[in-house]
Structure 1
Amino acid sequence: MPVSLSPSLALVTLSYRPDFHRCRLLVNSVGQLNQTPVRHYIIVDQRDYSVFQPLANAHTEILAVEALLPPWIRRLPLVNRAWLSLKTPPIRNWVLQQLVKISFARFASEAVTVFVDSDVVFIRPFDLTNFARQNQTRLFRVPEYYSPDFEPLYAAAYRLLGLEGYRYGVARPNYIGNLISWRQSNVVALCDRIEQVGGRPWLETLARAKTLSEYILYGVFVDHVLGDAAGHVYDWSPLCHEYWRPRPLDDSQLAEFFTAVPPETIAVMVSAKAGISPDRYSRYLQRYRAAPAVP
């Protein structure tokens, strides 16, 4: 069924206890600045569920990771770096997070899922047209990008999808970002493809992966398998102003970062890995919300 003129959309954020205060800023910004009906799902480990439950409201729902996984995947008490799997080797946390994203999007009742990291905060009004219009859904895609760190991720995507022609050391599109929108129907097709190639259920295949990028996997599938049938429009406009580096900024650098926010962006991201307390930049967020909207 084609997506309607106003496709249903879910915002999805994976978070955990140390990022609670950042996630609270995000949830508040969605409530203040979202212009159209949307459901925001916060997904956390069961052990963190009670911490995040106060964020639940009319448009925000807290889900436990365990509720999105089959019974054969479980967290072991006192083990923080991996999950127990009865059908595969132990699953490392960062791989499991990607499995949770795919699982949510595959079974979502919404037609479009937008993944938003918990260290993102919206600073300007936004609505569905930022991500989906009529039968076209935005896919973040930088046409040419190269990083040697990405080579294993692309190689894994080609292998999982049964694609030939992978070459080392060439520029490829980049699909990794902070506001990533997928179509539910494409995720179903992606999982079906993985099962056809791997000969076992998609979750078992991906759980065995030693390295994986869910965004690259989906992007390569759209580019090389679905093509025009994917219903995506490519876009690499900077919807989010980002600071990725794993080191803090001093006060002047932080002020400079927020001064440089482009007028067309709707969100900012200060990486949690930078170790900057949200209290240090919350005043800048209030300034943007108080400013007139850019026409």
Structure 2
Amino acid sequence: MSAVVIIDSDVALLRAMPADLFIRNGAVRLYEKPESITRTMNRHVMWTRTAHKLLGLPAPESSTHPDYVAGIVTWDPKLVTGCLARIEKVAGSSWATAVGAELHFSEFILYGTYVQHFGSEQQRSFREPSTLCHSYWDSAPMTASGMEQFIAGFGPADVAVHIQSNSNTSEETSRQLFEALRSKAMGRS
């Protein structure tokens, strides 16, 4: 069995990532945080609508949706192939043309929505609400006090850290943060 591990370019790996972190009992791990996309998350809501459209699903009616966006995600290559074939069937064109025509699109939301609606029970059996990656998504630069809180929030299940590049967090702050978290990950703090 194989899996594709997708790691955002803003992610720094701090711990080992053994294969069983991503594959369990013949299923590839799917990051899925149920009901975490709310009406106020405009971009995520648009991405969810686009995924439903591309997959030929009715427009979502719920006020909340699962989130599949994270700094580290894994995909099952067989499910990716099925997802692309589904898009081509619905669109009547290549998947690249169909996806390229969409202004509001998230590959993570698309894949997760496909797995949710078209994956077998076995393929959906390894869904996890934890990201494996301690992330800073704020658009404001991280402050010294924010750095202390962020370090305290790095847990034993986190294998990586993600500082959103558009937060404009200084290189010095990022360097200090990575050093502190590397020490914590190795059990030295």
- Which residue in 2 is equivalent to 1:209? 102
- Which residue in 2 is equivalent to 1:275? 168
What runs of 5+ residues in structure 1 fail to find an aligned partner?
Answer: 4-110
2-structure distance, mates of 1:186, 1:142: 19
**Residues 213 and 226 (structure 1), Cα distance of their counterparts in 2 relative to 1, 3 Å cut:** same
User: Does residue 115 of the first structure (1) align with residue 9 of the second (2)?
Assistant: no
User: Does residue 143 of the first structure (1) align with residue 34 of the second (2)?
Assistant: yes
User: Does residue 263 of the first structure (1) align with residue 156 of the second (2)?
Assistant: yes
> Is the 1:139–1:182 Cα contact (8 Å) retained in structure 2?
yes
> Is the 1:142–1:235 Cα contact (8 Å) retained in structure 2?
yes
2-structure distance, mates of 1:172, 1:190: 19
> Is the 1:122–1:268 Cα contact (8 Å) retained in structure 2?
yes
Following TM superposition, by how much is the alpha carbon of 1:126 offset from its aligned partner in structure 2, in angstroms? 2.2
2-structure distance, mates of 1:269, 1:255: 15
Instruction: Encode CA deviations 1:228-277: one digit per residue, 9 max, x unaligned.
Output: 25355100124111110111122232233113212221111111111113
**Residues 153 and 293 (structure 1), Cα distance of their counterparts in 2 relative to 1, 3 Å cut:** same
**Residues 250 and 284 (structure 1), Cα distance of their counterparts in 2 relative to 1, 3 Å cut:** closer
Q: Secondary structure at the match of 1:146?
A: strand
> Is the 2:31–2:131 Cα contact (8 Å) retained in structure 1?
no
**Percentage identity across aligned positions?**
27
Instruction: Encode CA deviations 1:196-236: one digit per residue, 9 max, x unaligned.
Output: 11111111111111211111111111111223253551001
Report the residue type matching 2:116 in the other structure: D
- Give the TM-score, by structure 2 length: 0.87
1:1-295 alignment to 2 at 5 Å? 3=1, 111-148=2-39, 149=42, 150-164=44-58, 166-167=60-61, 169-228=62-121, 230=123, 232-291=125-184, 292-293=186-187
2-structure distance, mates of 1:183, 1:146: 23
Following TM superposition, by how much is the alpha carbon of 1:134 offset from its aligned partner in structure 2, in angstroms? 4.2
**Residues 162 and 202 (structure 1), Cα distance of their counterparts in 2 relative to 1, 3 Å cut:** same
CA RMSD after TM alignment? 2.1
2-structure distance, mates of 1:164, 1:238: 28
> Is the 2:27–2:122 Cα contact (8 Å) retained in structure 1?
no
**Residues 151 and 285 (structure 1), Cα distance of their counterparts in 2 relative to 1, 3 Å cut:** closer
Higher relative contact order structure (alpha carbons within 8 Å, sequence separation ≥ 6): 2
> Is the 1:138–1:234 Cα contact (8 Å) retained in structure 2?
yes
What runs of 5+ residues in structure 2 fail to find an aligned partner?
Answer: none
2-structure distance, mates of 1:238, 1:115: 12
- Rg: which structure is higher? 1
Give the count of matched residue pairs: 184
> Is the 1:137–1:182 Cα contact (8 Å) retained in structure 2?
yes
2-structure distance, mates of 1:128, 1:115: 14
2-structure distance, mates of 1:230, 1:145: 22
Instruction: Encode CA deviations 1:89-112: one digit per residue, 9 max, x unaligned.
Output: xxxxxxxxxxxxxxxxxxxxxx31
- Give the TM-score, by structure 1 length: 0.57
Following TM superposition, by how much is the alpha carbon of 1:170 offset from its aligned partner in structure 2, in angstroms? 1.6
